[in-house]
Amino acid sequence: MNYPLSTQSYPRQSFALSALHTLQYCPMILRLSYTLAQKTKARTTALHPLNANAFADWSAHYIHANGDAFVIAVCTRSLYTVVVPAAGIVTPVTLDARIYAYLKDYLVSDGFEFFYRRLVDRDEEETTFSKLLDAESAANLDDLGELVQYYLAEEGLSPEEAARKLNEIPLAALNHRSPRSVFKTMGF
């Protein structure tokens, strides 16, 4: 099928947008590391399967750097990471509110406003807390946490700068693709 040069990419774009429209809204699943669940006293007795909406399935871990506490929120499927200051996070409600606020700000500032508005944004406070998916998820969180700690403590980066740098690094767990590139292509 031949298309004029100016519309050659139209079929791909049309398919990609229709694929995003077929994803239905699902409540967010927030998978907590043991340490973070203990700090917030969140009940994570159940292990939930992966969310049908990959953009609404996140894992979180508690870390320390330079004497400050942080939570790293990691998209479970793409390892796309957001770094959240943990000061004042003492309950599941404050954890959910803080992570959600930082997700919104970071995704919009990183050029993912469309994904945020279409697939992450929610009208109600619906978050399901869960245990981590498996040992590989825990290992990935530990590895990403160590990198974030290094960026914050040794390189003196801000939480947002550390997340940006981490999201551009090719990772073996993603077949040497960056978390940002995997996150970008998840909906297509």
For residues 94 and 133, give the distance between their C-alpha atoms in angstroms, rounded to a whole number. Answer: 23
Tens of pLDDT, residues 90-136: 999 999 999 989 999 999 999 988 888 776 766 555 788 999 999 99
Domains of the chain are 24-185 (3.30.420)
Show the tokens assigned to 57. Answer: 């399935």
The DSSP bridge pattern shows strands 127-131 and 28-32 to be parallel
Residue 58's H or E segment, with its range, is: strand 57-65
> What pLDDT is stored for residue 26 in this prediction?
67
Q: Looking at residue 25, what is its pLDDT?
A: 52
Q: Is the pLDDT of residue 63 over 50?
A: yes
Dihedral-angle region of residue 43 (phi above 0 means left; psi in -120 to 50 means alpha; beta otherwise): beta
- pTM (two decimals): 0.82
